[in-house]
Every structure is written in C-alpha cells, then in structure tokens.
Structure 1
Amino acid sequence: MFTIEKHLYFLLLLLIPLFVVVRHYYLNWQRKKQLEFGNPIALQKIVKFSTVNHEQFRFILFLTILFFSVLALVNPKFGTEKNSVTAQGVEVVFALDVSKSMLCKDVSPNRLERAKQIISQLVNQLNAERMGMVAYAGNAYPVLPMTTDYALAKMYLQTINTDLISSQGTAINTALKTGVDFFDNPNAGKVLILLSDGEDHEEAAEKAAIYAKDKEVKVLTIGIGTPQGGPIYFIDEYGEPQVKKDKEGREVVTKLQETVLENIAKNASGSYIYANQTDEVVALVKKEIQSMKKATVKSQQIAQQKSQFQWFLGVALVLFLLDVFFIENNLFSFAQRIKREKNE
C-alpha cells in the first residue's frame, strides 16, 4: 500500500516550470545586453572560457535537487515494519450489555451509544494496557481478544449493536465468567469493566462476582440509564421505528437497576460508578486503573506504513554536495587555467 502524508507540498513542484520560464527570459535579456555591448565575434573572444553548457547542466541539477526535496517533504509511505514495545501496564476487559433495553433513550443518544462513548474515551486513556472486549445479552461472546491495538478496538466497538446476540436477557453472570477467563497474565493487575443497565439479571450474577474476586479480578460496574427509565425504541423488520410493548399492549418501561450493579461490584471488591457524566466516569476509572498492580507487557505492533522520505532527501543531498564541491570547483579551476594561459 502506498500513501502520501503531506499532499500540500506537491504545490512546490510548480516552482520548477516557474524557474524554467524565468531563466528563459533572463537568458534572452542577457543575450540582448551582450549584443548591445559588442558584436558576437568580439564577445566570443572576450568570454571564450564561458561554459554555457556547464551552466545549463547546473540549472538542470538545481531543478533535480528541488524535485527530490519536494518528494522528501511529501513523505511517501509504503512497506511495513515491526516494532517491539515493552512497557508497564494492566489488563482490562470491557463487558458491554447489548440487550434490547440498552436502546432506551433516557440518556442521549441511547444507553448503548452512551456506553460505547464511555468505552471509546477510556480506550483513549490507555497507555500500555492490554484490553479485550465481551458483548452479552442472553449469552456472552468474545468480541475482541486481548490486544494493545487500540485503533482496532475502536473499529470493533463501532460494529457492536443489539442484533449481535439473538438470545435476549442480561446474562451478567456469563459475561463476568467469560471476561474473567480472558485474562492471561498472572502478574498483571486485572480489571473487568461492566457497562449495563442491570435489567433482567440472573441471581447467579452475584456468585459470578465472587468468582471474579477469587481470580483476583477487580470488577467496576458502570450504570447506564436513569432510575426513572423510559420506553425501548427499536427498528422493526420493515425499517419502521417502534416502541416495545408487553402482551397487554402497554409500553415497556426499562429502569436502571443500580442495586444490582452495586452488589456485583461489592462482591468483587470493586466499585460502582453511575454514568451521569462521561468525563467523570473516565476520570474515576482511570484513577482505579492507575492504582492497580502493573506488570511488564511486551507486544509486537505492526506499523502498516513506513516513511520513505530519507531516500529522496539523501539523493537531493548528494546532488547538492556534487554541485558545491565538484562541479563548481572544476569550473573555477577551468577559469583560472584559461587566465594563466592568456597571461603566458
């Protein structure tokens, strides 16, 4: 794959035809002035060591240097490179509720999108932490394996929706067990961040929280929604917006179950955070992560594109040195030799 980093610098290439035009008019003006000074035969005798071809060559060399300098400035990128990165960090797993109740709009734009915004902001705060992601509703499935590729994590995050898992419900217990089993570094601090409205949970969730505690995994629960709640909006198979209703035809109202999430966090020796303001949630979670035990994390990161500007800059530099130290000095030596011959 080939890309250009700074396309704007290509405008400098317009200087090449500009210099050609200017030099053309300059040479015509110079020729006219020389004819005014004397006839062509006399001028040829006076400046017989003049090197028109040499000057032409130097001008072409100058334009070539300019061309390669511009190519260096635009910084073409192609090829791949691998960098071994060693740093201190913890392991983080996000467990995201994708049940239909997360489509409630009691928080803007809706619960699921608010949860994804929080995860995205938290990913921005990660440094050397390895992270993974689990999505759950009536069951739990891995979405992203443990990685330090945060750009890839954000890409996967954007694809998550409530249609990802067909079985409905909120199997927090399964999400906790799946998330706990994600961790693979016994020396690093482990934190499982669970984002949910706590609706339709199973009683086994509190036992799963104890399981997380036994595995030395800190669980942070983040409550998405409001205690007042609201209806569940969704798009039907015909693409029409609908409101979820019960068997009696009444609108289903879903509410944030803070007590559920608080008990899960308590049983896992973690903390419950109400997602009222995204910035506050991010700050609190970041503080929790920074206080945890860190371990050496070594990973291979692949840079998709490698800068190649140095090759073009090198060519420009070599041509410049050739002009300064070889061509110009030869011209000076040639002129001096002609003068000595005339004096003799």
Structure 2
Amino acid sequence: MVEGIEFANPQFFWLLLALPIAVVWYIFTRKRQTASLKISSIKGFNVSGQLLPKLRPLLFGFRLLALAALITAMARPQTVDVSTKTKTNKGIDIIMAIDMSSSMLARDLKPNRLSALKKVAAEFVNGRPSDRIGLVVYAGESYTKTPITSDKRIVQNALRDINFDGLIEDGTAIGMGLATAVNRLKESKAQSKVIILLTDGVNNSGFIDPNTASELAVEFGIKTYTIGLGTNGNALAPVALNPNGTFRYGYKQVEIDEKLLKEIAKETGGKYFRATNNKKLEEIYEEINKLEKTEIEEFKYYNYQEKFRPLVWLAGILLLLELLMRATVFRSFV
C-alpha cells in the first residue's frame, strides 16, 4: 500500500505476473518480427551502425507500461478521508467525596495519604472524558469543592487545591461527606450516579448519621464505592501542633471503620476497598474505572476519492505514442 493510497481491488495486481511472460515472449520472437533478405555478400553496401533499429524495443516498452498502468487503474487506487463522531449513550455522574482531616497527612503512603490520593484521583479524572465529575471534601464538616462538571480542567485544579489548612473543623464526618455528595447527585438526570467515598478513620463528627446518608443514596439510586485508606498497624501521623504551627508527628494506631464502609457499599450496590499502600490505591481506582464503563457509540464517515483516471490517461497516451511511432519513425522496420 502506497502512503495515503488504498486499493479497492488489489486482486488485479496478480495480472502484473503476465508482464515478465510477455518480456520473455518478446525476446524469443523479436527476430521473426522483421523481414529478412538473404544475399551472398554485403561488400557492395556501405554498412554503418544506425541508432534507430536499436530503439525499436521502445515500442514494446510503451505497450508494457500502458498495460501496467491499466492493471493498476483496475485495482482502483483511492484516498480515504475518515471522520469520526462519537455519541455517549450512557453518561455517568461521579462525585468523589474526599476525607481531608489532619490524619490524611499520615506518611504510611508516600509522600502522605492526601498527596498520594490526589495523584491517583487526577489520573482517574483524566480517564473519564465522557463523564461529569464533582468533588466534595469533608473533615469535621463537609462542603462542595466542585459541582459535577464536564470541564476536567476545573476538577483537576480543584484537586490540586485540596489541603488540610484548618479552615474547617478537624475530625471525620463520614455521614456529612456522604450526605453532601448525595445532595449534589440527587437532581442528576444521568442514567448512572456514583459516589466514591474515601476516608482513613471512623465517623466521629457531624450531625448526620452515615446510615441515614446511606439510605438517602439508596432512595436516589446512587451507587457508592467506599475506600478505607491506611496501612495496617501503626502509621506516622500528626499528633500535635508545634509552637510555629507545624505538625508534630508520631506513631498512631490506624483506625478505619471497615464495618461501616462495607455496609454503605453493600446497601447502595457498590463495593468496599482497602488501600494500604500507593500501588493498592492505584489498583482500586483502576478497578472502579473498569466497573463503571461509559457506553460510547462511534460513527465513522468515509469519503473516497478515486485516483485511477490519471493512470487510464497515461495508458492511452502511451498506446497512442506507440501507434504514432510505428506509423512514422519506425514504419520501414515494421
């Protein structure tokens, strides 16, 4: 296949095998194509080398080239312009509810839990080009960081801005975070609505019970995937504040209410995951990405431009040239 050119009927190229056969036939029959005169001596003739008889095979060359051009034209060379249009048949609205309590600065994941999560979540967002995504953050209370939007640039910027800055009360209000996410999705017209709820602790703040928030998710048909973040055993985490406002780190027992997270996932038709390291966290988001597939229909439009006509013209010109030369320049040798 020539660069940029396709052939609609490439099977006609098999006819090119006839060209070498024609060349062999021409070589063996060439001498018989010219009349000969037998004489006893040519001493009386002035013999000199003439160029014209040596050029006679050009006539056969023109015919071969014309035949090759016609065979190529029969193969129908063409260029194809393909345009693609996609249509999303089943959109998904996703809210990521992220725990941003001080314990998310623990260093059992590298460089810490929050930074590791932000990196993996950003990759997840990039892998959902056809879906709308929003962000809810919570600690002792919760709020919407970004409403559901199809603008991934806004979501990525909001993800980068998530930090524990003390603007909201410290703690882990799982019920509040889930309820806020449900509130953002309840009016959604999407066929599939999903919450990804991540926490590294137990519910110890807020005025909404997690089970109540779970019931609301069920009522509005919202599936919830829950992720418990943190290694098993002890983790190096903030334990106090230094005089200059920085955190003092020490080893603390990792406490995650896995029973609650499993109940929420089961009630809403989701699934519970436990991320104990960076790699496991990446694998969890990859699995959620596979579980929540967006159905996309792709339409392709083909515009063909035929390129055989110049080859037919070339073959015609070569054959005409051969006839003219036979009738003029080479008329005495035929």
User: 2:196 — aligned with what?
Assistant: 193
User: 1:314 — aligned with what?
Assistant: none
Cα distance between partner residues in 1 of 2:242 and 2:264: 33
Match of 1:207 among 194, 204, 212: 212
Cα distance between partner residues in 1 of 2:137 and 2:190: 26
Q: Which runs of 5+ in 2 are unaligned?
A: 1-85, 298-334
Cα distance between partner residues in 2 of 1:237 and 1:264: 40
Cα distance between partner residues in 2 of 1:221 and 1:142: 18
8 Å Cα contact 1:133/1:142 also seen in 2: yes
Q: 1:229 to 1:206 in 2, by over 3 A?
A: farther
Q: Partner of 1:199: helix, strand, or coil?
A: coil
User: 2:88 — aligned with what?
Assistant: 87
User: 1:259 — aligned with what?
Assistant: 259
Q: Which runs of 5+ in 1 are unaligned?
A: 1-84, 245-250, 297-344
Deviations 1:186-227 (A, max 9, x none): 342000001111334468112211211111000001121113
Name the structure with the higher helix share. Answer: 1
Deviations 1:242-274 (A, max 9, x none): 126xxxxxx643333323322221222210112
Q: 1:113 to 1:199 in 2, by over 3 A?
A: farther
Aligned alpha-carbon RMSD (Å): 2.7
Cα distance between partner residues in 2 of 1:175 and 1:149: 23
The TM-score normalised by the length of structure 1 is 0.54
Q: Which runs of 4+ in 1 moved over 4 A?
A: 234-237
Name the structure with the higher strand share. Answer: 2
The TM-score normalised by the length of structure 2 is 0.55
1:310-329 residue pairs with structure 2 within 5 A? none
Aligned length: 205
- 1:238 maps onto 2:244 in alignment: yes
Cα distance between partner residues in 1 of 2:194 and 2:296: 13
8 Å Cα contact 1:198/1:260 also seen in 2: no
Match of 2:115 among 92, 101, 113: 113
Cα distance between partner residues in 2 of 1:118 and 1:223: 15
Q: 1:213 to 1:167 in 2, by over 3 A?
A: same
- Return the offset for 1:165: 4.0
Q: Which amino acid aligns with 2:126?
A: N
Cα distance between partner residues in 2 of 1:217 and 1:295: 21
Q: 1:236 to 1:160 in 2, by over 3 A?
A: farther
- Return the offset for 1:241: 4.5
User: 2:313 — aligned with what?
Assistant: none
8 Å Cα contact 2:231/2:254 also seen in 1: no
- Return the offset for 1:283: 1.9
User: 2:289 — aligned with what?
Assistant: 286
1:298-317 residue pairs with structure 2 within 5 A? none
Bigger Cα Rg: 2
8 Å Cα contact 1:232/1:254 also seen in 2: no
Q: Which amino acid aligns with 1:107?
A: L
Cα distance between partner residues in 1 of 2:242 and 2:191: 45
User: 1:74 — aligned with what?
Assistant: none
